Structure formats: structure tokens, C-alpha cells
Amino acid sequence: MLAKKADVVLVLLIQIILIVLFFIFTTYDDKYESNAYPMFQDIHVMIFIGFGFLMTFLRRYGYSAVGFNFLLGALIIQWALLCQGFYQLNENNKMKLGIGSLYKADIAAATVLISMGAVLGRTSYMQLLIMGIVEIAVFSANSFLGSNIFQVADAGGSMFVHAFGAYFGLAVSYVIELKKAKTITDNGLEESRYTSDLFAMIGTIFLWLYWPSFNAVELTGDGQQRAVMNTYLSLASCCVTTFAVSLIFSKNHKFDMVHVQNSTLAGGVAVGTTANLMLQPFGAVLIGAVAGVVSVAGYAKLTPWLSSNFGIRDTCGVHNLHGIPGVLAGLIGAFMAGIASEATYCKTLYEIYPARASPNMTATAEYTFLKPGLGRDEAQQAGYQTLALVVTVTLAVASGLLTGMLVMWENFLPLKEECFDDRHAWHLPRKKAEIGSMVTFKPMIKNNYYSVFERVL
Amino acid sequence: MLAKKADVVLVLLIQIILIVLFFIFTTYDDKYESNAYPMFQDIHVMIFIGFGFLMTFLRRYGYSAVGFNFLLGALIIQWALLCQGFYQLNENNKMKLGIGSLYKADIAAATVLISMGAVLGRTSYMQLLIMGIVEIAVFSANSFLGSNIFQVADAGGSMFVHAFGAYFGLAVSYVIELKKAKTITDNGLEESRYTSDLFAMIGTIFLWLYWPSFNAVELTGDGQQRAVMNTYLSLASCCVTTFAVSLIFSKNHKFDMVHVQNSTLAGGVAVGTTANLMLQPFGAVLIGAVAGVVSVAGYAKLTPWLSSNFGIRDTCGVHNLHGIPGVLAGLIGAFMAGIASEATYCKTLYEIYPARASPNMTATAEYTFLKPGLGRDEAQQAGYQTLALVVTVTLAVASGLLTGMLVMWENFLPLKEECFDDRHAWHLPRKKAEIGSMVTFKPMIKNNYYSVFERVL
Amino acid sequence: MLAKKADVVLVLLIQIILIVLFFIFTTYDDKYESNAYPMFQDIHVMIFIGFGFLMTFLRRYGYSAVGFNFLLGALIIQWALLCQGFYQLNENNKMKLGIGSLYKADIAAATVLISMGAVLGRTSYMQLLIMGIVEIAVFSANSFLGSNIFQVADAGGSMFVHAFGAYFGLAVSYVIELKKAKTITDNGLEESRYTSDLFAMIGTIFLWLYWPSFNAVELTGDGQQRAVMNTYLSLASCCVTTFAVSLIFSKNHKFDMVHVQNSTLAGGVAVGTTANLMLQPFGAVLIGAVAGVVSVAGYAKLTPWLSSNFGIRDTCGVHNLHGIPGVLAGLIGAFMAGIASEATYCKTLYEIYPARASPNMTATAEYTFLKPGLGRDEAQQAGYQTLALVVTVTLAVASGLLTGMLVMWENFLPLKEECFDDRHAWHLPRKKAEIGSMVTFKPMIKNNYYSVFERVL
């Protein structure tokens, strides 16, 4: 028991280190973009209600799903504030925190929670915390590399958040399975039950509803309105094709809750990188429709194939919701960059792709956002978009594999057989038979055994 | 099975037609009313969480309630964007889509989801989709007729959305029952269970909370504040009288969840048409209090009477939540129009009722919204308000009857006996007894059978 | 039954009196702070979803938790609008109601719902209504005393709302137990079940997410941004330490849902009074971390001790979530007031602490908020902050004891043994065995009895 209590010390130590880092490095930002507050709150709901409840679908893992999501999210947003701020230290080595820092921290947390989805039910909470801490460091570096060095556009983070989180999580999952070899047997718990599926729908629908905020929060003006419109439209058509294609892939021509809970969201990912671009409404609807089809096909065919042939298990199927649609988004991003011109976007082209501005461009009274760029043409920009996608996936897999090895260290309490089961980490409610003095129940039990359950459920 | 698969083809075809229509007719609006975004998101939550979970109250129809609401809503918002835009095509035959289009599409979807409530559990998903597509076309025409031709005020859509949706749905429901005659028997599933009632409360409360946004989103300034205040107050008092009157109509002096889930919302409908008017706070509180009483009485007396005497079944009791309160709202709207004067509203009278402006009125520096009207007096305006209400209900019933006949066409898969049951349209989770290797459960089963259920629920 | 029906008459009478009071005393405010609307809606969700679902954790008291919270909240917001307005009547004896009045009414309702948490499951709905009506009157007076007479700062209401609500509720709870003496026995229902814990998490997480709006809604500019930041950070670290310390206090090194559902929120209370101050990010994180530790320790040790030694029962443990963290917030408020200087806050010092302005200070073009104050120094302000805390707790306990005696009057229907049980106040769904014609079930029952439950749950 002594060794076991060590995990508490470690968690408290991490929190103390965070307090010290906040003390050394942070101060308040005095600029206040109050307009961003409602969108920040929408994203906040996505992270803790959306992801948290989406993962409650397992029949006996609801406490862990929503609870570990809560703990992991709360730790990671603190750490992400710091990691992202390290790239923006001012002359006094201080980072200034404001509303913008908060929604960026929440978005960073999404990356980790996506990875959590890949390994859901097959790790201890300590493994999740360690995974998240490492992942945010790499995520922040990759985002900085993509946005500031490669200067690519990824409005909704489909590459840097969704693809990164999915492939990182799959790599961790791969190592976890590899290390435990044959110890995990099917205990019948990697399934849903009626009520857990309904809880999961709370998560799904809040994610679906607030996704326009996720894709639009970092934008302003016209670009923000387009991001909202495109995301709304893409998610709407994605929902429709998901339902239709779910029937096709099912044995008895019935809908499958796994598809409804997940694939309906693929449209938000697939349109993310280009959400602010001139896709036109029909383009957004088209992207969403395709994403739904691809995602359901992934659930029906790809996930079982990867699992049985390569041992890459994926509890929530994040590959189909975040991985493939994220890569798709990156490719659409490269395509749209390749056809973007001043004729279509006017001067805002150089706000969207700052590297395309000529090196001697300067702000004007009308276009205050203009500044010297790298003079890239559309083909070069498309090339960099593709490069960022490749680097993101590569870095995610590489760092995920290493993180997988790290978290299998015995001190991080890797699970043995007890997968997908709350009772190993949580006090569960007493069973009714254990409650001695349940006076009010006794008469009912005599009549028939249904009444007992009816009363209590 | 071949014939059955035809439904998938039809759904995908509808989505493809939508893509084509978006391609031909739509473009982005460059005006961006970003202030409306938070209210739009509130309404978005009402449509997909509010209506979706409100309808999960049935004991074995939760997947269908929240799932079909999701599918139907996602299809309808696309179609409503187009239908409403057809009345606003510009010189290039394009409609410009922006935030305003999105919340209007969501509000239109509410109409269809209200109708869905009337027939809940007694249709296939295909019947719902077809019903929704027809309904939105008629709804858009009726709204245009009322707002632009009759020039009546209906701030919260109590006539055009709530009354229309309710009477349309009841008409469809009537035809469905008529056509199946005696094939539907009571299978014991048109009831709630403990947990499903709690899920339904999620829907109820989100609807109740965000209703002020529903009634106020299309307004600005003072009028918007009054709409928020009046709706908040009306819903508060409606909740109180609903609980009290629920005790009166109950046999054992106990609260009834049906009333709490539904009648508490009637205040939002009843105040809708006049939400922006000078009801004064006491007026709003009074309207809500009356609406609660009327709605509970409807559930207790009218719905059973309509069902047994006329075969008009109404699964969610939308008549009592949307129908009667919608008519009540229309009558209050006529009354308030009849006493509205420039003394009370100053020049904003002509913003609220543009037809009351004299034909030679023009905008001034202070009142930029002024424009030539039809020179109606208060009695004429009250007459037009009444006319719009009568036309709305008539059109809803007529088009609902025709739509009912259409959806009973065999190709739209009308149900036979299997009402209120998820298992005909959904893969349900495996039963525990079917899960062979549930090692962790076996020891418990031996001890006593309670433990099994306790663990899993 | 006649006597019992008297409660309905009383509730309707209260609603009619409210209508009359609204008629006499209220009108619309013509100023509209539309920026506050999104934060108002966040708080609205906290009150009705947050508190409502947080209290559904009891296994058989979910209808009452969310239902009575709904009824009580809806009545109290009306009454709080009036009570708070009585201190702001204009020359015509009218109070002007706008958005600001709405969020203040919601915040006032929080006070009552906190008290409800202390007595949850051990009162009738009538006792709650009477308790709430008295409590709001005293709450409004105490808030006026603290804010306007003592001129103390309490941005997030940690003293006036949280500490007041908790100690008032504990005093009421004490009297209730005292009066019934030995009649309450443990009926096994003061516990959770698996599903009820998940419903409760919906409440917890929405409270946790929207808490920054609660602490920041009354502020503007820099102060608002700091309130948002500090609350976000405090809640994040509080969540982390809650999980860690939950393991320490548990017997088997497992997480306890009671802690996760409640103590994770203590950081929002503890930082409330000083949310807008220059705590610096590390200060906010530190406060939250401490609050989590203190709150979990309270649940593990203090609540059982108070219950068994003093008969002070506390169903939801509001003492650990609102009481102690509220007192802690008040003490931090006094400390921060004691070190606040113009050097740190510039002229906004006199906006935060108006009493510190010199008696001859006047508004300038740059600082329009300046006005003559009382010329207090920092020590005096700290003294007044402490005084307000002591007065608040004292008044809460005193008025709570008297209210406890009032609500035990027989006409308010005090419970006898039937605690924590929905069936005494609600129509519960029919049991399955009572449903005669459940044709679709019969074949399954024959196979095995598991299937029945699986299907239905």
C-alpha cells in the first residue's frame, strides 16, 4: 500500500510544481477580448461535457470516463497555459494570460482527450496524466513549428489538434497492447448498455452544437462568420450521411449507436483546417457528407482490421473521428491553399496566409493587418500545408510510441486484466442486498422481483 | 431486403440534391451580426439537446428520440436555409447566408420537431424525414405570408412555429391512426421509466433556460431586453402554477412528471407573440401563470378526450405545450396590437408594426428604421393578427392531413405494431446473458441476483 | 385530503401575491447591458441544471432533486427580483428591471438552493418554498448591509451567497432533526446508485464550467478578465487536489464520487470574494489547491463528526462546498483588502473599494467612476471585510434557526419517516409487472430474467 500511495504524492507534487511555474512565469494580460468569452465557454463545455460524456458509453466505465476526463482536463489546461506561453515570453520572462490563453489551453486539452479516447479503459489514471503532460509539450512545439515556422493555416486545428491527438493516442495504444501481450481477455465490458449510450449522446450533441465555436474562436470578422457557417453546414450533412451509411454497413439494416455518437462529428474535423476559407456553402456541405461516409466506413472496416492485424486497439475509434478526418482536412487545406488568390480573398489573403505577402508589404489605413511576408506563391503555400501535415502525423506517432513506453513503467500503475471496469479505481455504490435496513423495500420484494429494480432504476 | 435498402438511397439522394441546391443558390453574406452568435447557440442547444432529450421520456424509445431528433434536425436545417432563402434571392438568384440564416433555420426546425412530438414512436424515421421536408416548405410559405403580406408581429414565433407545428403534427397523427385502424395495441411501452424521466428533464430545463433567446434573437435594443424579461418572467410563474395545478389534477395529490416536463414550458409559448411588447412585468407573470394552468388541464382532460373520441393521439402532448398556448399567444397578440399606440411605444411602434406607419412616413436621423407603411389603425392591425392566426392553424391542419396521407405510402416504411420500441430501428446492446465470458460477473451472480443489476446500472 | 389540498391554495396564493407586487412596483429598465446576456445565461444554467442535477445523486430522489430545484428556483427568482428591487425604488416607488436584475435574481436563488442541499430529502416541497421565501428576505437585507452600509467587496458572493446559504441551511437542518428526534431511521436511501452519480456529474461539470461567469458577471473590463482567469485557474487546481486527496482519505485507495462531485467546486467559492483582485495567476492556483484539500477533509472528517455529535445533518455536504470555502474566501478578502494599495491597482482601487476614496474625490475625464468615499485606509477596509463575514454567518445561523422552527409547523407538511424517497411526492412510473399487456416482453422472460432488465434499462 505504501508504494501505491506514491501516486498521490506524485500528483500533488505536479500541482505544486505548476504553482511554482505560475509564480515565476505568469502575469495578467491587460488586453481583454471580451467578445471571445461566449465562444470560449462553448469550447469549455465541449472539453468537459462533450468529451467527458461522449466517453461514458462503456457499460461499466462511466465514472472513469467522465471523472478521468475531468481530472486530466483540469491538469492539462494548467500545463498547456504554461507550455503555450513559453513561446510568448516577454522581455521580463513573463507570459501574459488572458481570455485568449484560456481557450487555447482548452483546445490543447482536446488533443490529450482525443488520445485518451484511443486508450480508454486500458490505462490507470496515472498513465493518462503522464501521457497528457508529455503530449502537451510535444503538441505545443508542433503547433509552434506549424503556425510560426512553416506559417501554415489550420483554423480549427484539424491537423495540430485532431490528427495529432489521434495518431499520438494510437501509438500509445499500440505500445500498451504490445507490452501486456496476452493478458487482456475480453471480459464483456467493452460494450455499451442502454443508459450509457444515452449519456454518451449528451457528449456527442454538445460537441456537435458548439463545434462552430471551436473552429471560429481564433478568427474575426468575415472569416469568423465563414468558419461558423461552414462548420454548421458540414456537421449537418455529415449527420445525415452518417445515419444513411450506418444502415448500409449494418447486418440487419439498423442504426448503430457507435456511428451516431462519433461519425456525426467527423464533418467538424474535416472542415476544420479550411473553415474560414471560401469553400462556399455547397463545399462545406460536400465535405461534411464525405466525412460521414468515410468515418462510418472506418468504424465498420478499418478499426477491426487494425485491431486484429496490427494490435492497434482504439476504444473510442478516434482514428475514424479525428485521425482520418484530420488528415482529410489537411489535404483539403493544401488544395484550398493551392487555389487561393487575391482575386478571391482580396487583401485578407495575406491575413490568412501571412507568408504569401511580399517581403516589402506594409499595413495601410484600410488594411491594418498587412505586414511583410515571405513572398510565397500558392503552390509553395500548398507545399508547406502538406509538409505540416506530414510532420504532424510523424511527430505524433514517434512521440506517442516513446510515451507509450514511458507510461508502461510500473510506477505509473499500468492495468493488468481489469480493463473497462470502474470498480478498480472508484468506490461504487453499495449493492441493494448489502443495505440491511431497507425497510421500505421489503414488502415489494415479496410480491415479485421486478418491482425492486423498477423502483430503483 | 432490397426494397428496404431503398430508403438509404433516398436519404443519400436527398442529401445530394441539397448539395446541388446549395451550389446553385447560395453564397456567404458579408454582413456579420456577431452579437447574435450567443443567442444563436442557445437556440441550437434548444433544438438538439432540448427537443432531443425532452422526447427521451419513453421507457424504451430513447435512442430513437434523441437519434431521430438529431437526424431530422440536421436534414431540416439545411432544407430550411434554402426554403427561407428562396424568398430573399438577390438579382443573381443567390441567397446570402449568415448568422441570421442559421438561427432562422434552427427556429424552422423547431416547427418540425414539435410535429415529431405529436407522432413520436408511431412512425419510421423515413416518415419523419418526408414529413419534415413537406412541412418546412409550407411553414416557410406561411411565415412569409404572415410576416410580409399580412405584416403581423410574432416575435417568438408562437403562431408561425408553435401553433403551426402542433396542429400540423396532430393532423399527421390523426391520419396515421386512421390508416392503421386497429393494428396498434397497447404494448406497455407508451410510458416512462425512472431514468428516462430524468433524461427528459435535461431537455425540459435547457428549453426553459434558453427560451428567452428564442423569443428575443430577432430583436434589438429595448425590444430585445423586454423579450428577454417577459419570457423569463412568464416561464418562472408558469413553472410555479404547473406544479400547483399538477397536484390538483392528480389522484393522490402527487406531482406528475408529464406536467413538469412539458407544461412548465407553456409560458414561453404563450408570451412569444408579444414578448417584445409593453406587457409590463406583471403582465408577463400573469400570462405565464395562466398558461401553466391551461396546459396542465389540457394534459389531464383534453388529450385523453381527443384520443378516445376522435382518434387524435398526441404522444408528447404537443397540443398542450405548443398548440393551445400558441393560439393563446396569437389572441394576446391581437389584443396587444389593438391597444398599441404611439403614446406607449413612441416611434418604435412603426418598427414593431411597419404596416401602421403612414404611406408617406420616411426615416429620420433619429429614427432610421422608419419607412412608408400601409397606414393601418390599431383595430386593423388587430384584425390582421387574428387573420394570421386563423390562416396558420387552417393551413397547418390542411397540409398536415395531406402529409399524413403521403407518409402512409408503403415506401416510407410506416410502422405496424412495433410502436415506441427502439429495437426495430437500432442495434441494442447485447444482453448480459448473451455475453459469455463475463468472468467478473459470475461470482456475484452466485451470491444473489441483485448484485448483478446493481453493478451494471 | 382537504387539509392536504391547502398547500395548493397556498402556492397559488403566493403566485397571485407576486403578480400583484409586480403590478404595483415594477417597470422595465430602458438601459440594456446586452453584453451581460451570455454570462447571465451561463449563470441561469448553473442554477437550474447545475444545482438541479448535482442533487440527483441520491438513488431514489432524482425527481425531487431536479423537480423541487426547478419549482423552488422559479418561485425564488420572482421573489428575489422584488426583494432586491425594494432597495432601489425610484421616486415613483417603482423598481426598474433589466438584464442586471435577472442575473442578480439567479444569484440570489443560488443561496436558497445551497440551503436546500443541506436539508435535501428531509423536507416537503412546501417547507422548501417557505424556507426560500424567508431566506431571500434576510439574504437581501444582509447583502444590502454588506455592500452598501459596510461597503465591502465580495465579487463572486462567496460571503453573501455561499457562506450565508450554507450556514442558513445547516441551521434549518439542525432544527428539523431536533424536532423529529428519533423518528428518522436509516432506510438505505441516503446513498447514490451508479446512474444517479452520472446524472449528478452533469450538474457538477456545468457548475464548474460556468463558475467564471458567476464570479465575473457584475464586473467590467480588466477586473472582469481577472475574475474569469482567477476562477478558471482556481477551479482547475482544485479539481486536481480533490482527486489526489480523495485517494488519501479513502480506505482502499479509490476515488470517492462525493468528493469529485462537490469538492472540485470549492475553488470557485474560495476565490470568489477576491476573484477580481491582483491575486496573480499563481495565487489563484494556490487558493484552489488549498480549497480542494480542505473540502475533501471536511467531507471525510467534519461532516460525520457534526452529524453524530451535534445532530447537524448535511445531505449534500454544503458545509464543505460552500460553508468553509466561503469563510476562507471572506478571510482571503480581508487579507487582500489589507494589502491593497494605489500602487498595485492605480485609480481602480477606488472602484473596487469605494469607501477608500477620500471624501473630496471626484470623477475625472479619465476615471469617470471616481466619487467621494469615506477615506478608509487598508486596515479599516480589512476590518470591515471581516465584520461583514462575521455578520453574515451570524445572521445566517440566527435566521436559519428561526426559519427551521417556522417550517416545522404542521401546515407546511414536515416529513416523518419517508426521507430521501420520491414516491411520497411523485407519481412514479408503473412497474413492469403491473403492465398487463406487455406482449413483446413475454417471450424474453421465458428465456431468462436478465434479458428483461437489459432491454428496459
pLDDT at A185: 57
pLDDT > 90? residue B41: yes
Is B5's Cβ below 8 Å from some Cβ in A? yes
Give the chain A residue nearest C287 (alpha carbons). A19
The rounded distance, in Å, linking the Cα atoms of C119 and C55 is 11
**A208-213 average pLDDT score:** 98
Are A280 and B457 in contact (CB < 8 Å)? no
Residue A455 has what pLDDT? 38
The minimal CB distance from B222 to the residues C30, C52, C427 is found for: C30
C437 touches chain B (CB under 8 A): yes
The H or E element spanning position C96 is: strand C95-97
Contact state of A433 with B451 under an 8 Å Cβ cutoff: yes
Is the CB of A194 inside 8 Å of chain C's CB atoms?
Answer: yes
Asked whether residue A83 carries a pLDDT value surpassing 50, the answer given is yes
Tens of pLDDT, residues B199-227:
999 999 999 999 999 999 999 999 999 99
Contacting chains of A (3 CB pairs or more, <8 Å) are B, C
pLDDT more than 90, % of chain B: 88
Given a cut of 60, whether residue B105 has pLDDT beyond it is yes
Residues 6+ apart with CB under 8 A from B9: none
Q: Any idea how long chain A is?
A: 457
Say if B184 is an interface residue toward chain C (CB within 8 Å). Answer: no
Q: What does pTM read for this prediction?
A: 0.95
Counting one residue from chain A and one from chain C, the pairs whose CB atoms sit within 8 A come to 204
CA distance A118 to A168: 9
> Which one is predicted more confidently, C115 or B1?
C115
pLDDT at B444: 31
A-proximal residues of C, 60-79, CB under 8 Å: 60
Mean pLDDT, range B269-292, rounded to an integer: 98
Say if residue C450's pLDDT is above 70. no
Say yes or no to pLDDT of C443 above 90: no
Say which residue the cell 439545411 belongs to.
Answer: B78
pLDDT tens per residue across span B326-362: 999 999 999 999 999 999 999 999 999 999 999 999 9
Please check whether residue B33 touches C, CB under 8 A: no
Distance between CA B277 and CA B340 in Å, rounded?
A: 9
pLDDT of residue A4: 64
User: Following CA atoms A432, A434, A437, A439 in sequence, which dihedral angle do they give, to the nearest 10 degrees?
Assistant: 30
Q: Which of A355-359, B136-140, C385-389, C410-414 has the lowest mean pLDDT?
A: C410-414
> Is C317 in a helix, a strand, or coil?
coil
Question: Which of B49, B195, B276, B426 is most worth mutating to test chain C (most C CB atoms within 10 A of its CB)?
Answer: B195
**Per-residue confidence band for B456, with pLDDT thresholds at 50, 70 and 90:** very low
The average pLDDT across A383-398 equals 98
Confidence category of residue C124, pLDDT binned at 50, 70, 90 = very high
Q: What is the DSSP letter of B368?
A: T
Range of weakest confidence among A17-21, C60-64, C448-452: C448-452
Q: Which residue in this structure is represented by grid cell 424567508?
A: C134
Among B233, B287, B438, the strongest candidate for a mutation testing the C interface, having the largest count of C CBs within 10 A, is B233
Q: Does residue B39 sit at the A interface (CB-CB below 8 Å)? A: no
Is C449 in Cβ contact with B432 (below 8 Å)?
Answer: no
What is the per-residue pLDDT across C138-180, written as a single tens digit (0 to 9) for each? 999 999 999 999 999 999 999 999 999 999 999 999 999 998 7
Stretch C308-329: mean pLDDT, rounded?
A: 97
Identify the band that residue C452 occupies on the pLDDT scale cut at 50, 70 and 90: very low
C428 interfacial to chain A (CB closer than 8 Å): yes
Interface of C with B in 203-242 (CB under 8 A): none
Q: Predicted confidence band at B446 (pLDDT cuts at 50, 70, 90)?
A: very low
pLDDT, tens digit, for every residue of A115-144?
999 999 999 999 999 999 999 999 999 999
Which DSSP category does B96 fall into? Answer: E
Q: How many CB atoms lie within 10 A of CB A408?
A: 17
Q: Binning pLDDT at 50, 70 and 90, where does residue A418 land? A: confident
CA distance B258 to chain A (A): 18
In this prediction, residue A209 has a pLDDT band, given cuts at 50, 70 and 90, of very high
Region B222-248: what's the mean pLDDT?
Answer: 97
Q: What is the pLDDT of residues A43-63, one digit of tens each?
A: 999 999 999 999 999 999 999
Q: Chain A residues with CB inside 8 Å of B95's CB?
A: none
Query: Is C456 in Cβ contact with A427 (below 8 Å)?
Result: no
Give the domains, in start order, of chain C with CATH numbers.
15-424 (1.10.3430.10), 431-457 (no CATH)
Q: Which chains touch C (3 or more CB pairs under 8 A)?
A: A, B
Ranges of H-type helices in A163-279: 164-180, 194-216, 221-248, 257-262, 266-270
SS3 B347: helix
A8 reaches C (C-beta below 8 A): yes
CB contact under 8 A, A193 and B4: no
User: What's the gap in Å between the CA of A321 and the closest CA on chain C?
Assistant: 24
Q: What is the mean pLDDT of chain C?
A: 92
The candidate with the shortest Cα–Cα distance to A191, out of B434, B56, C441, C201, is B434
User: Which residues on chain B are in Cβ contact (under 8 Å) with C77?
Assistant: 232, 236
Residue bearing cell 433516398: B10
pLDDT band of B439, cuts 50, 70, 90: very low
Strands C26-28 and C95-97, by their bridges, are: parallel
Share of chain C above pLDDT 90, in %: 87
pLDDT of residue C82 exceeding 60: yes
pLDDT digits (tens, 9 = 90+) for A231-245: 999 999 999 999 999
Interchain pair A22, C278: CB under 8 A: no
